[in-house]
């Protein structure tokens, strides 16, 4: 979903909405365990919904076809869902797993992902060349380290500090790199969405 969203919606929007995965455990707690969000979390959820609506406005106006906005919106929601599940599992392991087996947990996670990708390549009769290997290493190593360091940070600092710091940092880094290196430009409505998303992440973790 990261790959699809970067291609369809751009890296900046993808990163911003993927970091909203914190809504997944929040909504599950409300639905399954009868927990109620605080006032700050309620405001954060409202800001997220507003960002979704604002993000959809320009696509409808630019294309003149309301149906053109639906695929991008659905893809961003799927990215949010999968990102939230992945981040939630780190917290679940931090609560119930054994701390000295962190490296094994992360290793098995990425081995499983590698096996799934290899199966997909074999089924699709794809070819893995030098370019895929080099770019895969440049992507996979930071991805692994970010997950491992987040997991280790959860054992020493509170989740409501670790998650928003990680999320906002990721958004700002992707925005800076995409804007400077790849010259990615956002519409004013997309910029407004991101402006709403960053404080929403902080409120959802209060």
Higher pLDDT, 97 or 60: 97
pLDDT for position 63: 45
Query: pTM score, two decimals?
Result: 0.59
Widest pairwise Cα distance in the chain? 56
Rg (CA), the chain: 18
How remote is the C-alpha of 159 from its chain's centroid? 16
Q: For residue range 121-155, what is the model confidence (pLDDT) as tens digits? A: 888 877 888 888 898 888 888 888 887 887 777 77
- Can you tell me the distance from the alpha carbon of 183 to that of 47, in angstroms, rounded to the nearest whole number? 28
> What is the mean predicted confidence (pLDDT) over 41-58?
71
């Amino acid at each position: 979903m990261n790959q699809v969203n970067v291609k369809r919606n751009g890296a900046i929007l993808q990163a911003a909405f993927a970091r909203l995965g914190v809504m997944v455990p929040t909504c599950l707690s409300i639905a399954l365990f009868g927990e109620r969000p605080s006032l700050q979390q309620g405001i954060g959820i409202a800001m997220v919904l507003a960002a979704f609506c604002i993000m959809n406005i320009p696509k409808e106006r630019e294309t003149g076809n309301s149906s053109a906005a639906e695929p991008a919106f659905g893809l961003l929601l799927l990215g949010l869902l999968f990102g939230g599940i992945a981040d939630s599992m780190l917290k679940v392991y931090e609560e119930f797993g054994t701390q000295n087996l962190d490296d094994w947990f992360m290793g098995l996670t990425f081995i499983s992902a590698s096996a799934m990708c290899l199966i997909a390549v074999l089924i699709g009769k794809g070819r893995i060349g030098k370019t895929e290997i080099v770019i895969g290493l440049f992507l996979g190593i930071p991805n692994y380290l970010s997950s491992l360091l987040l997991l280790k940070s959860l054992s020493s600092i509170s989740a409501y500090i670790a998650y928003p710091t990680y999320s906002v940092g990721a958004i700002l880094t992707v925005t800076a790199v995409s804007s400077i290196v790849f010259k990615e430009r956002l519409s004013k409505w997309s910029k407004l969405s991101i402006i709403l998303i960053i404080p929403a992440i902080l409120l959802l973790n209060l």
